[in-house]
């Protein structure tokens, strides 16, 4: 049985991806930072569905020592889904250096740490899949989210470059760029803002975490064997 490690998978997109990949036959390792209760609840749900061997591991992906410990506990990882991330809306002129550094520590450095820890096993086996979660704002930028947009753009650049570097070792590196998804992260938006976002989206609706999980499932599966270095936009047509 292959193992999939999903960072930030106690809730939202990560949780949906964990359920989907477990259903695809993967042994899933749930990573969480502070949401221990949600992670344990998800682990109980996976167990109740008779998905064997799953585990939950606490780690702050921005901390190298914690990431190394997480991978040691997880064992060999065949599919790495770099989903852990933070977001913040703030005027660029009000951003602090701490705001900027924390955004890049989690959203970019976290991926750097996880990829470096996952790759030795994948290179040894001459196969593996890395799936990075970016954002449509990493493609086009968002007002009042400059540091978030810059970090998610960096994820796209990392994906493309790493795909070229590890492709000869049989490893695929791809990226999913979600649009506006109905998750806890966007629950803070008021109803009028959400209605406006729906109107801006050609399909006339917000996405669900399960829509992103379906894209992750495709990229983690055998039907994507000739795809690497790509950015799969799951945004209802908002960014084309």
Distances (CA, A) of 157 to 24, 50, 109, 173, 174: 29, 38, 13, 11, 11
Token digits of residue 126: 């001459």
Task: State the catalytic residue, choosing from 32, 51, 121, 148.
Answer: 148
Give whole-number Cα distances, 122 to 39, 115, 206, in Å. Answer: 26, 10, 35
What token pair was written down for 90? 């703030």
Is 148 one of the catalytic residues? yes
| Count of C-beta atoms within a 10 Å radius of residue 216 | 29
- 């064992």: which residue's tokens? 75
Nearest to 219 by CA among 30, 122, 80, 53: 80
Known catalytic residues are 148
């Amino acid at each position: 049985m292959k193992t999939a490690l999903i960072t930030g998978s106690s809730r939202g997109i990560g949780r949906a991806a964990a359920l989907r990949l477990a259903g695809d036959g993967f042994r899933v390792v749930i990573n969480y930072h502070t949401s221990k209760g949600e992670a344990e609840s998800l682990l109980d749900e996976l167990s109740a569905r008779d998905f064997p061997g799953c585990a939950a591991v606490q780690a702050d992906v921005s901390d190298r020592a914690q990431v190394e410990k997480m991978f040691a506990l997880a064992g060999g990882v065949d599919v790495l889904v770099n989903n852990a991330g933070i977001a913040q809306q703030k005027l660029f002129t009000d951003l602090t250096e701490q705001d900027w550094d924390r955004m890049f520590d989690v959203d970019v450095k976290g991926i750097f740490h996880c990829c470096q820890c996952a790759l030795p096993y994948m290179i040894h086996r001459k196969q593996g899949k890395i799936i990075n979660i970016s954002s449509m704002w990493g493609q086009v930028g968002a007002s009042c989210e400059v540091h978030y947009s810059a970090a998610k753009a960096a994820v796209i650049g990392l994906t493309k470059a790493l795909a070229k570097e590890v492709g000869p070792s049989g490893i695929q590196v791809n990226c999913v760029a979600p649009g506006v998804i109905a998750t806890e992260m966007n629950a803070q938006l008021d109803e009028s803002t959400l209605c406006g976002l729906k109107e801006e989206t050609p399909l006339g609706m917000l996405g669900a975490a399960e829509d992103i999980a379906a894209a992750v499932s495709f990229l983690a599966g055998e039907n994507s064997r000739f795809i690497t270095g790509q950015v799969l936009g799951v945004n209802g047509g908002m960014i084309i």
